[in-house]
Amino acid sequence: MRKRGPDRAASWWWQYKARPVAGLSQSVSELGGILGSSSWQDDDDDVVEKRKFHSPPRVRTSMRSSLVLLLVAAFVLAEGTSRVKRQEEKKEESFESEICKDKDAGEWFRLVAGEGDNCRDVIQCTSSGLQAIRCPAGLYFDIDKQTCDWKESVNNCKLKNKERKAKPLLYTEEPLCQDGYLACGDGSCIERGLFCNGEKDCTDGSDENICDMDNDPNRAPPCDPAVCTLPDCFCSEDGTTIPGDLPFKDVPQMVTITFDDAINNNNIGLYKEIFNGKRKNPNGCDIKATFFVSHKYTNYSAVQEMHRKGHEIAVHSISHNDDERFWSDATVDDWAKEMAGMRIIAEKYANLTDNSVVGVRAPYLRVGGNNQFTMMEEQAFLYDSTITAALNNPPLWPYTMYFRMPHRCHGNLQHCPTRSHAVWEMVMNELDRREDPQNDEYLPGCAMVDSCSNILTGDQFYNFLNHNFDRHYEQNRAPLGLYFHAAWLKNNPEFLDAFLYWIDEILQSRNDVYFVTMTQVIQWIQNPRTVTESKNFEPWREKCTVDGIPACWVPHTCKLTSKEVPGETINLQTCVRCPNNYPWINDPTGTQVRAQDDEGGDGLDANAEELCQDRPGDEYFRLSVEGDCRDVVRCDKATEIGVTRLATVRCPTGLAFDIERQTCDWKTNVKNCDQLETDWPLTWTNRPATGRAKSPTVTSSRDWKETCDEKGLPYCSLPNACPLTTRELPGETLRLFTCMECPNNYPWLLDPTGDGFSARK
C-alpha cells in the first residue's frame, strides 16, 4: 500500500484556503474535497472496487493531472475576477463618497445638467447606495423645490444641486467664543440664543442653516415625565404612552374626522349626509368632526351652522398659497396674517363668539418650523395638526411641544420645530394603506385618506378602515385620525357608502368608540377617564344634540372685490352685514378705513370745530399718540343742528391704524403710531383742551319739528340677538340685541367695545 505524500496541488490549495474568494469559497472547497477523495486515497483494491474506478493506474494519473490543472485555472481566474471586482468596488465607493460629499440627507441632485432627459434624471445618496429617479414625460425636476414639476415651471435645469449654505463652526478643537456665544461660519461670535430664531444674525446667514432637531443649539430638551405633567404638559420617550397610564382596554377609542379647505355649496350636502343627527356616540351625543377652513369661496353662514351643531372650526389659512416653499419659509408675521387673520374672518363673518377657534393646519401639510409655532403661542392657538409621524406600531398619542418631538421629522424637506413651544401637537399618524397586511407587501403610509392612492373600490376602503381601526384599538388606542378632502368622498359615491357603513357598524357594535373633535381629544388627555367614566365626561356632552333653526335662512350674498386679489369679484355669504371689501391678508375685516365705525355717544368735543376746520369729512386722525395705536376719529359735520361731531373708530385687536394709508393694518406694518394725522406737524398736540362745548343755540322751534312725523321702516326689522359671555361675569351668557354686528364678548367694564381678542389668553 502506497503512502500519501505531499503534492503541489495540495500545497497550493492550503495556501489559497487561507484567503478564499467571496462567492467561490464553497464551490472551491467542494471541488477540493472531490479531488482529495480521488487522488489521495489509498490504492487498496477493495477501495478501488468499492468506488468502481476500473481505469488503469496510468489513466487515473492522467485524470488526476487534468483535474489539478482545471482547479488551478479556476483559482487563477477567480483570483483575477476578484481583484477586478475589488478594484471596481473601491472605485464605486470613492465615486459615491465624492459626489455625496456635503449633500444633505434626502437631497436630490443631478449628475449631468441640461435640458431634455438630463433635467428629468436625479439621484440621491442613501445608506444603501445611490438611488435614481426619472420624472414622468412632460415634467422636469425642480432642484429648488425638490420635486417634479411641469417643464415650463422649471428654470434650473442648468443647476446640478441646491445652493450650498454656509455652516456655523459649532464643533472645533479649541473654543472660538466665550460662554454663551457660538461661532458663525466666518468665525465671528453671536449670542447662542440668536441661532435658529428665524432671522439671519450672522453675516453669512450660517446661524439659520443648522436648524434641524439634531443640530439646533437651542433645541428643546428630551421628554422628562417628572417635569411634564398633566393637565398642561404631556410627553413620552417614544410617543406611544397612554395618558394617565390607564390600561389600554379602559381607554375609549377616539376617532377624529377632519375636512380641509372651504365649506360651501359644493360640500354642504355631503356634511349633512354624514352628520345627520342620527349617528350617536355611546353617550347619546351626535358624532362630531373638525373643519380646517380656508377663506376663499367659503360660505360663512354654513360655517356658522356647522359650529352651531357642535362641530369644531379651525383655520387652514386665508390664501392657501400654492407655493409649498412659502409655508416652509414663512416668517412669524406671514403666519400671523394667514392664520390669525383667518380666525378674525371666521369669527366676524361666521359670528363665532365663544373663542373656540384654536386649531391650525398648514396647507399641503408643510410645517413652518419655529416661526409657525412662535406665532401660535403669540396668537393663543391651542394646537397644530400639521406634523406627520411615519407609519408606526403602536401609533403615537398627541403631545405638547415643551419637550422634543418623540419621532423624526417626516416628509420631504419638512421644516419641523426644534424649540420649546406652549402648543399641543395633534400629530397625524400615517395610515397603513395595505388592504391585507398579513399578505400584502410593505407599502409606505399615507397621512390624508385621499392620498392613499391604492384604494380603488369601496370594499378596499372598508377593509382599509377596519385594518387601521384595529391597529389603534388593539394596541394603545391612540386617537385614530381620518383626514379628508370632501371632493374625494363626493366624487366617489362607492367610497362614501363604504365610509358611512363602517361608521354605522362601529357605533352599533362597540360601546367604547367616540367620534370627537380635536379639542375634545385634548380635553380627555388633560383629564383621562375610563370607558365607563367617559359617558358622563362633561366636555364631550357640550352641544350634545342641537336642534333649532339656523342663524339665518337666507344669508347675504356679498359681491366683493379686493385690491389684494385684483380682477376678481368674489361672493361672500354671511348672516352679518356685508363688508366694504373682500377680506384678505392685509384687510381681514374687509372694512379698510371704516372698521367698526362706532358713532355711539354724543361725540362732542371742545376742539371739534377747530380740529375739523378745513378738514375733509372722510379723513381719520388721532387725538393722542398714547395707547395702542388703534383709536382714531373723523369729523361728522351735522349741519342740521349746527354741531360738528367726532365719530370714533377702533381697529380690531392685533391691528393698528396707519395714518398715511388711512386704513387698519397689522401692527408690525404700521410705523406712524407717533403721528397724529397726515402731513401735519406734531407741535399742536401739546395745546391744552378748553373744556366741553356749550349746547348749541336753538333759533326756532321749527328745528324740533323737522323729524316730528318721521315715517318709514326701523333701522332693522330683525336685530341680531347675540348670546355673549365675558370673563368679567364668569358663568353667565347674556343676550345683546343690536342692529350692528355682534361683538366678540359681552361689553363690560374692562372691555366696553366687546372686541377684546386679547381676552383669549
Q: Supply the pLDDT for residue 134.
A: 93
Please tell me the least confidently modeled range out of 62-76, 162-176, 352-366.
62-76
256: β partners:
481
Query: Is the confidence at residue 564, as pLDDT, over 80?
Result: yes
Tell me which residue of 431, 364, 432, 367 sits closest to 401, measured CA to CA: 367
Helices (H) and strands (E) in the chain, counts: 17, 28
| Most trustworthy range by pLDDT among 185-194, 433-442, 629-638, 645-654 | 185-194
Q: Supply the pLDDT for residue 677.
A: 84
Please tell me the least confidently modeled range out of 431-440, 467-476, 510-519, 692-701.
692-701
Quick count: other Cβ atoms within 10 Å of Cβ 155?
11
User: Over the stretch 226-281, which tens digit does the pLDDT of each residue have?
Assistant: 999 999 999 999 999 999 999 999 999 999 999 999 999 999 999 999 999 999 99
Query: Is the confidence at residue 710, as pLDDT, over 80?
Result: no
Q: Which residue has the cell 357640550?
A: 542
User: Over the stretch 400-451, which tens digit does the pLDDT of each residue have?
Assistant: 999 999 999 998 889 999 999 999 999 999 999 987 777 777 888 999 999 9
Average pLDDT, stretch 166-193?
Answer: 93
Distance CA 643, CA 693 (A): 10
99 vs 12, residue with greater confidence: 99
758 vs 534, residue with greater confidence: 534
Amino acid at 266: N
Strands 253-260 and 290-293: parallel
Q: Supply the pLDDT for residue 385.
A: 99
Please tell me the least confidently modeled range out of 55-69, 72-86, 281-295, 346-360.
55-69
Q: Supply the pLDDT for residue 569.
A: 95
Amino acid at 513: V
Asked whether 450 and 431 are in contact (CB, 8 A), the reply is no
Write out the DSSP string of 402-431: TS--SS---STT-B---S--S-EE--EEPB
Q: Supply the pLDDT for residue 681.
A: 39
Q: Supply the pLDDT for residue 453.
A: 84
Query: Does this model's pTM top 0.85?
Result: no
User: Over the stretch 205-217, which tens digit does the pLDDT of each residue have?
Assistant: 999 988 888 899 9
Question: In whole angstroms, how far apart are CA 42 and each of 1, 46, 47, 50?
Answer: 7, 10, 8, 12
Strands 513-515 and 253-260: parallel
Angle at 341 between CA 338 and CA 347, to 5 degrees: 135
- H helix intervals, 350-387: 369-378
Classified as helix, coil or strand, 634 is strand
Query: Is the confidence at residue 65, as pLDDT, over 70?
Result: no
Amino acid at 180: G
Q: Supply the pLDDT for residue 635.
A: 81
* Torsion angle of C-alpha atoms 335, 337, 339, 344, degrees rounded to 10: 160
* Element housing 480 (H / E): strand 480-485
Please tell me the least confidently modeled range out of 127-141, 414-428, 436-450, 583-597.
583-597
Distance CA 45, CA 28 (A): 29
Quick count: other Cβ atoms within 10 Å of Cβ 333?
14
Query: Is the confidence at residue 32, as pLDDT, over 80?
Result: no
Amino acid at 373: F
Name the band, by pLDDT with cuts 50, 70 and 90, for residue 4: very low
User: Over the stretch 725-752, which tens digit does the pLDDT of each residue have?
Assistant: 888 888 788 888 888 878 888 999 888 8
183: β partners:
169, 189
Q: Which residue has the cell 471596481?
A: 88
Q: Supply the pLDDT for residue 81.
A: 63
144 vs 417, residue with greater confidence: 417
Domains of the chain: 93-150 (2.170.140), 248-529 (3.20.20.370), 555-590 (no CATH), 616-670 (no CATH), 715-760 (no CATH)
Exposed, middle or buried by CB within 10 Å (0-12, 13-18, 19+), for 45? exposed
Name the band, by pLDDT with cuts 50, 70 and 90, for residue 640: very low
Distance CA 523, CA 517 (A): 10
Strands 597-598 and 643-650: antiparallel
Name every residue whose Cβ is closer than 8 Å to that of residue 91 and which is 6 or more positions away in sequence. Answer: none
Distance CA 3, CA 218 (A): 80
Name the band, by pLDDT with cuts 50, 70 and 90, for residue 172: confident
* Element housing 557 (H / E): strand 556-562
Query: Is the confidence at residue 130, as pLDDT, over 80?
Result: yes
Q: Supply the pLDDT for residue 40.
A: 40
